Amino acid sequence: MTTFIGAAILALLAYVGYNVAILRLNKKMKRRECELNKAGVTPSGSGLCHGMKLKTDKSGVVRDQKKSSAWYSRLA
């Protein structure tokens, strides 16, 4: 019985530790996103995976707001 209780406590501690780690990473990524936005770096992209669209006067590409995997790699 003591082994079962010990295993349950260990599993609970592992679960709590995992959640704390996820919360810390989330907070760090949000802080980094704010820093990048203040510096003028935005998640806007215009790659093929985003579906490129020309401006009406054909002077360039309209930037979208889809956050790409490259954006998330900058946050870590």
Q: pLDDT tens digits for 8-51?
A: 999 999 999 999 999 999 999 999 889 988 887 777 655 555 56
Calculate the alpha carbon distances from 35 to 42, 46, 62, 75 in Å: 10, 22, 24, 10
Greater confidence (5 vs 1) lies with 5
Split at pLDDT 50, 70, 90, the class of 6 is very high
pTM of the complete model beyond 0.85: no
Q: What is the pLDDT of residue 40?
A: 79
| Residue from 41, 40, 47, 42 nearest 62 by CA | 47
